[in-house]
Amino acid sequence: MPTLPFGTKSATCGSIFDPARLRKELAEIETKLSDPSAWSNAALSQPLMRDRKRIEALLTDDEELARRTGDVEAYFDLAREGEPVEADLEREIRSLNEFAEAMESRTLLSGETDGLNAIVTVHPGAGGTESQDWAEMLMRMYLHWAEQQGFKTEMNDYQDGEEAGIKSATFTITGDYAFGQLSGETGVHRLVRISPFDQAKRRHTSFASVFVSPEIDDSIEIDIKPDDIRTDTYRSGGKGGQHVNTTDSAVRITHIPTGIVVQCQNERSQHKNREKAMKMLRSRLYEYELDKKKAESKKLEDSKLDINFGSQIRSYVLQPYRIAKDHRTKVEVGDVDRVLDGYLEPFIRGYLLMRRNGGVPVAADAGDDLE
């Protein structure tokens, strides 16, 4: 007979989080928000509202966990009475375990910017059409993930590849804790497959880089001096912009001191594209400054420069075997097609656990049973 996962009723009593403590924190937040002066200060009210929403969601999860646990225990009772419910019981336990793991992941999202929306940029590495096609596959993977989470997406900039795929894409994912969940996706991603562009059907290795930054809101101040930026305009074109546009509505902004470049062509007016590009620049500069404070030896952009062998954070192997493996957390998922269709939860959870553990991978079975 199947055994219960680590959750069961004990999970509702604090093995994942402490509901009593959360209710106390929620009451304190409600008290602060009841003060009219809080609503006149976005830097104060926005973080409080984010915390309130996060705690309310966790408490709702606790109630759902209790309900699912009760369903599993009811199936156990039926099994003890001789009812043929083993298949249903296996399914319910698997569902409960996945829910409990996703719930645990959400408790790990406590960083200052974890609750914010995510701005995702995908670039192909060296390799022409192969890498451009791989970059588009990655873009679709994140868009599918966002759709599965019920998040909204908006394409900010899209550059078609010459024969297939993309030269670059930048899009915003809007949803609770979108950045926190995708923060571990920044880096080089490697694909191994039989190339659909090679008539000899040889195996090829392709690389593409992903960069994720939080969409900074008004509660975080970023000072950008007008003299530090250069703005260029050009005609929009391709997906995400107008296919035919006779005006220079697309905007590219370069931050001269750091060399950071952002661009937006999604809107029809130059003013709106500039506004969105400035928002993207604020987000990138925030991450850049965080990187400096952490005293890392390289600037934030350096993580994207060497899109080549030996620099990848994750590999997606389609030939000669099939597996997706994260080289930092050691999480592996056998169903690589499911991963490419947006199933990123094992990797997200593995990264968040590693982050909580000070950068040391945590032994976990996330995804190992998904062959």
What are the pLDDT digits (tens) for 230-255? 999 887 765 544 444 556 789 999 99
Confidence (pTM) = 0.70
Average pLDDT, the chain: 83
Task: pLDDT band for 301, please (50, 70, 90 cuts).
Answer: very low
Return phi, psi of residue 112, to 5°.
Answer: -60, -35
User: Cα separation of 84 and 201, whole Å?
Assistant: 49
pLDDT value of position 291: 72
- Mean pLDDT computed over 133-151: 97
Q: Are 268 and 258 in contact (CB under 8 A)?
A: no
User: Cα separation of 283 and 202, whole Å?
Assistant: 41
pLDDT value of position 245: 53
- Name the more confident of 189 and 100: 189
Task: pLDDT band for 6, please (50, 70, 90 cuts).
Answer: very low
- Alpha-helical segments (H) within 160-269: 178-182
Q: Are 307 and 209 in contact (CB under 8 A)?
A: yes
- The yes/no answer on whether domain 226-293 falls in CATH 3.40.630.30 is no
Task: pLDDT band for 330, please (50, 70, 90 cuts).
Answer: very high
Tokens of 263: 């661009």
Residue 276 has pLDDT above 80, yes or no: yes
CA pseudo-torsion sign 159, 162, 164, 168: negative
* 123, burial (CB in 10 Å: exposed 0-12, middle 13-18, buried 19+): buried
User: Cα separation of 125 and 366, whole Å?
Assistant: 29
pLDDT value of position 220: 67
Chain-centre distance of CA 293, in angstroms?
23
User: What's the alpha-carbon Rg for the chain, to the nearest Å?
Assistant: 23
Q: Who contacts 134 (Cβ-Cβ below 8 Å, separation ≥6)?
A: 124, 165, 189, 191, 206, 207, 208
Q: Are 146 and 213 in contact (CB under 8 A)?
A: no
* 163, burial (CB in 10 Å: exposed 0-12, middle 13-18, buried 19+): exposed
Residue 39 has pLDDT above 50, yes or no: yes
CATH of domain 118-215+298-356: 3.30.70.1660
Task: pLDDT band for 17, please (50, 70, 90 cuts).
Answer: low
Residue 37 has pLDDT above 80, yes or no: yes
- Mean pLDDT computed over 153-161: 93
pLDDT value of position 166: 95
Helix (H, G, I), strand (E, B) or coil at 169: strand
Q: Are 190 and 316 in contact (CB under 8 A)?
A: yes
Tokens of 65: 């966990």
- Name the more confident of 335 and 35: 335
Q: Are strands 187-194 and 203-214 parallel, antiparallel or unpaired?
A: antiparallel
- Mean pLDDT computed over 104-108: 80
Residue 350: closest CA among 312, 371, 324 = 324
- Name the more confident of 249 and 84: 84
User: Cα separation of 248 and 69, whole Å?
Assistant: 58
User: Cα separation of 171 and 147, whole Å?
Assistant: 13
- Mean pLDDT computed over 342-366: 84
Query: Taking CA 16 as the corner, what is the angle to CA 147 and CA 141, rounded to the nearest 5 degrees?
Result: 20
Q: Are 195 and 204 in contact (CB under 8 A)?
A: yes
Helix (H, G, I), strand (E, B) or coil at 261: strand
pLDDT value of position 9: 37
Return phi, psi of residue 101, to 5°.
Answer: -70, -40
pLDDT value of position 70: 92
Helix (H, G, I), strand (E, B) or coil at 365: coil
DSSP 36: G
- Name the more confident of 337 and 8: 337
- The lowest-confidence range among 179-183, 279-283, 310-314 is 310-314
Chain-centre distance of CA 194, in angstroms?
28
